[in-house]
Structure 1
């Protein structure tokens, strides 16, 4: 897996956030908490950076990933709550 060590670190930070906040909150709250957690662990994090997307030289929109960690891994934190 590409960037396996970094991916494991991101998953570990995400689990720490989820264990503290618990499921059921708004996605943006998890994103903000994960940003705090990753930075506390020494990572650089960019939130909501915009990338223009072109098709045949024409701008067709923009891509806005939730987080870019250490300039290498894009992550999109989601929370799902299963109700039974």
Structure 2
């Protein structure tokens, strides 16, 4: 399955969660709901997946974790904040570069309308 196909399933599923639950919960609630629903759809989902940090050919254990890694192709970073800051976009892009993956979704569930909270970030896609 191509990254874009995986992303469509993720976005549709996240939209359904937002419609059902609405804004106002902690990130962990949305993360667990999204992981559960995606797994129910047969997708491989890793939660809080460790992200290695390699500096000068040395692997450093600094504790970076991806919220969700779906089908080993799409990184999903979940937020539940009043508004996304530039650092949220930079974090997702950096995770894409460090993992050498091509597509990331930054989803802020704390919005009135879901479309305001979904952002697609790419790395050489």
Q: Same fold (TM over 0.5)?
A: yes
Cα deviation for residue 4 of structure 1 reads 1.1
Provide closer, same or farther for how the CA distance between residues 60 and 37 of structure 1 changes in structure 2, counting only shifts above 3 A.
closer
Is it true that 1:34 corresponds to 2:18 in the alignment?
no
Runs of 4+ displaced beyond 3 Å? none
Q: Distance in 2 between matches of 1:6 and 1:19?
A: 20
Query: Structure 1: where are the runs of 5+ without partners?
Result: none
CA-based RMSD: 1.7
Q: Which has the higher contact order (CA 8 A, sep 6+)?
A: 1
Q: Report the TM-score when normalising by structure 1.
A: 0.84
Secondary structure in 1 aligned to 2:62?
strand
SS in 2 for 1:15: helix
TM superposition score normalised by structure 2: 0.59
Mark the structure with the bigger radius of gyration.
1
Contact 1:54 1:61 in 2 (8 A): no
Match of 2:71 in 1: 70
- Point out the structure with the larger strand share: 2
Aligned length: 81
Structure 2 segments unaligned to the other structure (5+ residues):
80-108, 113-125
The worse-fitting range, judged by mean Cα deviation, of 3-12 and 59-68 is: 59-68
Distance 2:50 2:78 in 1: 17
